[in-house]
Structure 1
Amino acid sequence: MGTFFFYNNRKPRQYKYKPILYDPDEEERKEKLNRRIHEIKKEMNALTPEEDTNKAEEIRGEFLAQTKHLKRRKEREEAGKSSFLTNNGLLIVILLFLLAILFFWILS
């Protein structure tokens, strides 16, 4: 069995995959072109109902609808409700603990 030394630990090999057919500049150009085409069609009111909807927003909405805790969080954020106790609960507990220690230290 090998021994453990702090000064000479081997690091795991790095993953160095370089895609051959992927060009990020080309992807960016295509995305900008598609956005511009969409904006022009929107200005001319030539969008079909399928093109008019935003697929990412639909997926996000469906995902939020399927998870209870994310749905509740979104409702709270939309309502603007955030109580002082929920935001600063740990800070209040620590402060009360320190006050209790100070109180018992003064009495003894």
Structure 2
Amino acid sequence: MGVFFFYNNRKPRKFNYKPILYDPDEEARKEKLKNRIEAVKREMGVLPERSEIDKKDFKSEFVSQTRFLKKRKSREESGESSFITNNKILIFIGIVLLLIFIFWLLR
């Protein structure tokens, strides 16, 4: 077992990781080249214009990819009720109990 001394505390080693295969200049060069190739293809008419690609509706695309949101949307469209309408009685009982508790404290 070690003894704790206030004057000789060892500090933890610092994290000093240097990636071996990552070169930020090379990544920037590849990205620039990729953007230039896409621009040339757009000029030639091989790729659609950038504005057509960006016009996708993000919300509908996101909802279509998530199971929970798909279920919620289908429930809302079918007319099924929400949490409040399903639990009106429980909410009412909770409010009544809260009021009784408050009046009991004020006595």
TM-score by length of 2: 0.38
Rg (Cα) greater in structure: 2
